[in-house]
Amino acid sequence: MIRLDGVGQVFDGREGQVTALEKIDLHVRGGEFVTLIGRSGCGKSTLLRLIAGLLPPTSGAVQVAGQPVTGPRRDVSFMFQRPALLPWRSVLSNVMLPVEIDKGQGDRGKAAYRDRARQLLELVGLQGFERRLPHELSGGMQQRVSLCRSLIRDPQVMLMDEPFSALDALTRTELSEELQRIKMELSTTIVFVTHSIEEAVLLADRVVVLTPRPGRMREVVDIDIPRPRSLGQNAHLTEVAAISGRLHALLAEKESGEPGVPGEVRPVDEVRP
């Protein structure tokens, strides 16, 4: 569904060039849930924006559904760290925004979409809040609205950039479980950025570990724990612990001063003054 071949991204920063991503080769299968994990600044958001078509890569090729990405696609939705709701629109009208912007191209009538919006709001426990304004909702509720908005056009691909990281732990767990349910129901392909190991293990079929400066793929870890998974009471505690430990080691590696993998000598041109 998503294919990245030799993708790299170099930014012209104020103090010379910054290599945000380098040599990213990744293939995400249809219906797969992939989480990207890494320290902040290692290029996770940049990678998502490349897939979303919000940013053209400086090298390599990005494909979605077999087509090269040239701009935002209507079957790909993006969810941000913050809810990004329009403050003057009611909850329902915020959820309907993608349909409204895409008018003329919708494959169902507006009324059908409105029913779908109500259905989605109910799914995330927001029935009865359709006419409220965003500022009347808590942060967690706002992020649920944002989730509904990204689902309204039945996307084939959902790109989620740390969508739950600004929420309290309890709400985050709830939303993670809801997202799993939605994923199992709709078989959407999801790329989910996080810096929480717990979240990565709970949600992912595969975890891609990125290393910072330049952002490279450190390792891809498969997670074969059966779904639905939940935090807390879990029949597979030992597996969860093993995988979490492994991810932790991978993320911490650079810091603990372990020698790099042989052959990973950094080229001279990357050493910044």
Partner 1 sequence: MTTRRRMPKRTWLTDSPVAAVVLPIIGLAAAIGLWWGATVAFSIQPYLLPSPWDVVVKFFEQPGYLLQETGTSLLETIEGFLLAIVIGVPIALVIVRSVILERLAYPLLLMVNSIPKVAIAPLLVIWMGFGQWPKVVMVLLMCFFPIVISTAQGMKSTPTELVELMRSLNASRAQEFFKLRLRYAMPQIFTGFKVAISLAVIGSVISEFVGATKGLGYVIQQSGASADTTLAFAAITLLSVMSIVLFYALVLLEHWLLPWAQEKR
Ligand X SMILES: Nc1ncnc2c1ncn2[C@@H]1O[C@H](COP(=O)(O)OP(=O)(O)O)[C@@H](O)[C@H]1O
Residues near ligand X (CB under 6 A) are 11, 13, 18, 20, 38, 40-46
Question: Exactly one of 9, 19, 35, 45 binds Mg ion (CB under 5 A); which one?
Answer: 45
Q: Residue 268 Cβ, how far from ligand X at the closest point, in Å?
A: 20
Give the per-residue SS3 of the chain: CEEEEEEEEEEEECCEEEEEEEEEEEEECCCCEEEEECCCCCCHHHHHHHHHCCCCCCEEEEEECCEECCCCCCCEEEECCCCCCCCCCCHHHHHCHHHHHCCCCCCCCHHHHHHHHHHHHHHCCCCCCCCCCHHHCCHHHHHHHHHHHHHCCCCCEEEEECCCCCCCHHHHHHHHHHHHHHHHHHCCEEEEEECCHHHHHHHCCEEEEEECCCEEEEEEEECCCCCCCCCCCCCCHHHHHHHHHHHHHHHHCCCCCCCCCCCCCCCHHHCCC
Nearer to Mg ion, 45 or 90 (CB): 45
Is 65 among the residues that bind partner 1 (CB under 8 A)?
A: no
Residue 159 pairs in a beta bridge with 78, 191
Question: Exactly one of 66, 87, 262, 273 binds partner 1 (CB under 8 A); which one?
Answer: 87
Nearer to partner 1, 82 or 206 (CB): 82
Q: Residue 48 Cβ, how far from Mg ion at the closest point, in Å?
A: 8
Is 73 among the residues that bind partner 1 (CB under 8 A)?
A: yes
Q: Residue 145 Cβ, how far from partner 1 at the closest point, in Å?
A: 13
Q: Binding-site residue total for partner 1 (CB under 8 A)? A: 22
Residue 43 site contact among ligand X, Mg ion, partner 1, none (CB < 5 to 8 Å, cut-off depends on kind): ligand X
Is 176 among the residues that bind Mg ion (CB under 5 A)?
A: no
Instruction: Tell me which residue of 58, 57, 65, 54 sits closest to 28, measured CA to CA.
Output: 65
Question: Exactly one of 15, 88, 226, 264 binds partner 1 (CB under 8 A); which one?
Answer: 88
Residue window 104-143: x/- pattern of binding to partner 1, with contact defined by CB under 8 A: -----------------------------xxx--------
Q: Residue 151 Cβ, how far from partner 1 at the closest point, in Å?
A: 13
Residue 42 site contact among partner 1, Mg ion, ligand X, none (CB < 5 to 8 Å, cut-off depends on kind): ligand X
Q: Residue 206 Cβ, how far from partner 1 at the closest point, in Å?
A: 24
Burial class (CB in 10 A: 0-12, 13-18, 19+), 72: exposed
Residue 61 pairs in a beta bridge with 5
Q: Residue 66 Cβ, how far from ligand X at the closest point, in Å?
A: 26
Largest CA distance in the chain: 60
Residue 84 site contact among ligand X, partner 1, Mg ion, none (CB < 5 to 8 Å, cut-off depends on kind): partner 1
Residues that bind partner 1 (CB under 8 A): 52, 54, 71-74, 77-78, 80, 82, 84, 86-88, 97-98, 100-102, 133-135
